[in-house]
């Protein structure tokens, strides 16, 4: 199937795709090294015009009301759904992800738009009686939202940002990552057709220039960032300086814990394999530290090695591929370096560990699914690798295991496998993580809050609570009559 997209792209500002004179960067197919398209850089002035457009569109968008905003968000969901095969193929080419997986991202994104188009209608203001009257707590949108997203799952990242912000009545300037802008710009075509001009603007280019200008812009009233903890800190610093709220979805190094009482070892091995290497391991929520109880350790380890060996590594558009190439050579080299670091620190390589060759995709960094027998203190267990690399850790003492599971700067997610519900609940309560999935890793569904403890972020997405982060409360009190004079002579 031919994937149709343009040769040249520019930012979407006030309903118009612009071509500027700031120079271009290439959207490159990481598997083949081919140039897919050229994209115009934005500079500070472009960001300023995008924010002005969003600022100008705010009053009208807010005044449209929930019903009409929900209708337009549903129209976007329909458009993305109808176009999802093409969009998924664009991401497979642009980011290098397996097509079978990116398709699921689009299903999630579509559900996400529909979820917020629905829940906004039930997002009621609150009120209560006060002496002689009423107090109303009315939720109002914040204004222009500056939203910055990473490259690893463009469809989901854009939906997580746009859906709640727009439903709540805000306008948006969205900045996709420079490694994965194509599908977001194609999403922009649907947006430009459906929404009033200026409600959503998309600015392209470098984080240090465009992301920084967007964070610092005085008319941006809310920041929402998904990406690394390192850049999240920069964005949070700017938000603090400017006194605007910021939602931060950052990195992770999640623990996945297997108890000795699991019933179906093969199923657990399969789920733990998925947890670690879905999205080629380029997932914030990847279960990259696998703690397995000593009583079943040897049997589990053998099955895990077999499971990793079985994973089909292939080209992004091959329907059978389950691991494909990393987003860039830079990322590929970083992952290989981490494998070396692990071995140098004393970890034992159990399977994988090298670059895989895929015919026709010689430029791509395909990394063999890798398991290292490791200790939790090692850098490979403390730092985000963002590749198909799993650290396997044996545990025998429960308290020690819990301490190690929590011994990380991150706290995004965790998994538990056990047949004992009491055990599962007690352990879930002990883990410092924003999501704990019992017996099914990454069990995210519409309306379940997602976000990090500790250095994995601030705030929750994908749930009704997110609407609170995109609104502020105005208290209005009503009295039946003006009080009797206090200062005036009687
Ligand atoms: P990154 O932090 O390098 O970049 C993310 C975005 O920030 C990009 O759009 C980039 O252009 C922009 N940026 C860079 N410098 C900036 C600056 N100074 N000011 C403003 N914006 C700037 O992250 P990445 O490497 O693209 O993405 C991978 C990271 O994202 C991983 O750490 C991963 O865990 C995290 N992530 C988290 C979640 C979550 O929900 N918690 C989801 C996906 C990815």
Contacts 24+ apart (CB under 8 A), 446-451: 446/111, 446/112, 446/115, 447/115, 447/119, 450/249, 451/247, 451/249, 451/412
> Is ligand 1 within 6 A of the CB of residue 364?
no
Virtual torsion, Cα 417, 418, 421, 424, nearest 10 deg = -50
Q: What are phi and psi of 139, to 5 degrees?
A: -90, 125
> Is ligand 1 within 6 A of the CB of residue 226?
yes
Cα–ligand 1 centroid distance for 230 (angstroms): 8
Going by CA atoms, what residue is nearest to atom 11 of ligand 1? 207
Q: Longest Cα pair distance anywhere in the chain, in angstroms?
A: 95
Going by CA atoms, what residue is nearest to atom 16 of ligand 1? 207
Per-residue confidence (pLDDT) for residue 124, from 0 to 100: 80
| pLDDT 10s digits, 182-200 | 999 999 999 999 999 999 9
Read off the tokens for 96: 């290098």
Going by CA atoms, what residue is nearest to atom 43 of ligand 1? 284
> Is ligand 1 within 6 A of the CB of residue 178?
yes
d(CA 200, CA 10): 14
> Is ligand 1 within 6 A of the CB of residue 223?
no
Cα–ligand 1 centroid distance for 240 (angstroms): 19
The CA-atom distances, in angstroms, between 389 and each of 31, 72, 288, 289, 351 are: 19, 41, 7, 9, 10
The one catalytic residue in 42, 98, 284, 325 is 284
98 is known as an active-site residue: no
- According to DSSP, residue 484 is labeled P
Cα–ligand 1 centroid distance for 372 (angstroms): 26
Per-residue confidence (pLDDT) for residue 329, from 0 to 100: 96
Per-residue confidence (pLDDT) for residue 1, from 0 to 100: 66
Read off the tokens for 352: 């994988």
> Is ligand 1 within 6 A of the CB of residue 38?
no
> Which residues are CB-contacts of 402 (< 8 A; sequence separation ≥ 6)?
427, 430, 431
Read off the tokens for 284: 């914030």
pLDDT per residue rounded down to tens, the chain (490 residues): 679 999 999 999 999 999 988 999 999 999 999 999 999 999 999 999 999 999 999 999 999 999 999 999 999 999 999 999 999 999 999 999 999 999 999 999 999 999 999 999 998 888 999 999 999 999 999 999 999 999 999 999 999 999 999 999 999 999 999 999 999 999 999 999 999 999 999 999 999 999 999 999 999 999 999 999 999 999 999 999 999 999 999 999 999 999 999 999 999 999 999 999 999 999 999 999 999 999 999 999 999 999 999 999 999 999 999 999 999 999 999 999 999 999 999 999 999 999 999 999 999 999 999 999 999 999 999 999 999 999 999 999 999 999 999 999 999 999 999 999 999 999 999 999 999 999 999 999 889 999 999 999 999 999 999 999 999 999 999 999 999 998 987 6
> Is ligand 1 within 6 A of the CB of residue 412?
yes
Per-residue confidence (pLDDT) for residue 125, from 0 to 100: 83
Per-residue confidence (pLDDT) for residue 490, from 0 to 100: 64
- Pick from 47, 207, 230, 240 the residue to mutate for probing ligand 1's pocket: most ligand atoms within 8 Å of its CB: 207
- Pick from 213, 220, 227, 229 the residue to mutate for probing ligand 1's pocket: most ligand atoms within 8 Å of its CB: 227
> Is ligand 1 within 6 A of the CB of residue 148?
yes
Taking the CB of residue 382, how many other CB atoms lie within 10 A of it? 15
Q: What are phi and psi of 352, to 5 degrees?
A: 80, -140
> Is ligand 1 within 6 A of the CB of residue 382?
no
The one catalytic residue in 249, 384, 432, 461 is 249
How much helix, strand and coil, in percent to the nearest 5, is found in the chain?
A: 40, 20, 35
Domains plus CATH for the chain? 8-250+456-475 (3.40.605.10), 255-438 (3.40.309.10)
Question: For 77-87, b where at least 16 C-beta lie within 10 A, e where not — what string?
Answer: bebbbebbebb
249 is known as an active-site residue: yes
93: alpha, beta or left, given left = phi > 0 and alpha = psi -120 to 50? alpha
* Number of residues assigned to the chain: 490
Per-residue confidence (pLDDT) for residue 2, from 0 to 100: 77
């Amino acid at each position: 199937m031919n994937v149709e997209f343009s040769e040249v792209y520019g930012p979407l500002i006030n309903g118009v795709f612009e071509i500027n004179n700031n120079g271009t960067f290439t959207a490159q197919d990481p598997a083949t090294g081919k140039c897919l398209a050229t994209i115009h850089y934005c500079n500070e002035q472009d960001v300023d015009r995008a924010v002005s457009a969003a600022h100008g569109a705010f009053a009208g968008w807010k005044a449209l009301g929930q019903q009409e905003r929900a209708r337009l968000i549903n129209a976007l969901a329909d458009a993305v759904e109808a176009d999802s095969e093409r969009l998924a193929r664009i991401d497979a080419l642009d980011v290098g992800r397996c097509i079978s997986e990116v398709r699921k991202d689009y299903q999630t994104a579509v559900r996400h738009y529909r979820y917020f188009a629905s829940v906004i209608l039930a997002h009621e203001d609150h009120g209560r009686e006060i002496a002689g009257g009423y107090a109303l707590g009315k939720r109002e949108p914040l204004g222009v939202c500056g939203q910055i997203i990473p490259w690893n799952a463009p469809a989901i990242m854009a939906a997580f940002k746009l859906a709640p912000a727009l439903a709540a009545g805000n306008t948006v300037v969205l900045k996709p990552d420079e490694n994965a802008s194509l599908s977001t710009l194609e999403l922009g075509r649907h947006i430009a057709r459906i929404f009033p001009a200026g409600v959503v603007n998309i600015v392209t280019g470098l984080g240090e220039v465009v992301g920084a200008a967007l964070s610092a812009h005085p008319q941006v009233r809310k920041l929402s960032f998904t990406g690394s903890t390192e850049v999240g800190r920069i964005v949070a610093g700017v938000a603090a300086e400017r006194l605007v709220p910021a939602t931060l979805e950052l990195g992770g190094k999640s623990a996945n814990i297997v108890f000795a009482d699991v019933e179906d070892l093969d199923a657990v091995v399969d789920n733990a394999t998925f947890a670690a290497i879905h999205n080629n391991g380029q997932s914030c929520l990847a279960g990259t530290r696998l703690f397995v109880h000593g009583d079943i350790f040897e049997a589990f380890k053998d099955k895990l090695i077999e499971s990793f060996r079985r994973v089909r590594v292939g080209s992004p558009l091959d329907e059978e591929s389950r691991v494909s190439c990393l987003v860039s050579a830079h990322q590929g080299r970083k992952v290989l370096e981490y494998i070396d670091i692990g071995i140098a620190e004393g970890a034992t390589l159990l399977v994988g560990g090298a670059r895989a060759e895929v015919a026709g995709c010689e430029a791509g960094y395909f990394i063999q699914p890798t398991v290292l027998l490791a200790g939790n203190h090692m850098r490979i267990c403390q730092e985000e690798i963002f590749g198909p690399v799993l650290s396997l850790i044996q545990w025998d003492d429960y308290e020690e295991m819990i301490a190690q599971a929590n011994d990380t700067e991150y706290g995004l997610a965790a998994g538990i496998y056990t047949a004992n519900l009491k055990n599962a609940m007690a352990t879930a309560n002990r883990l410092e993580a924003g999501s704990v999935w019992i017996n099914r890793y990454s069990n995210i569904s519409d309306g379940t809050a997602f976000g990090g403890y500790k250095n994995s972020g601030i705030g929750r997405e994908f749930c009704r609570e997110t609407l609170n982060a995109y609104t502020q409360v105005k208290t209005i009190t009503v009295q039946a009559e003006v009080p009797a004079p206090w200062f005036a002579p009687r």
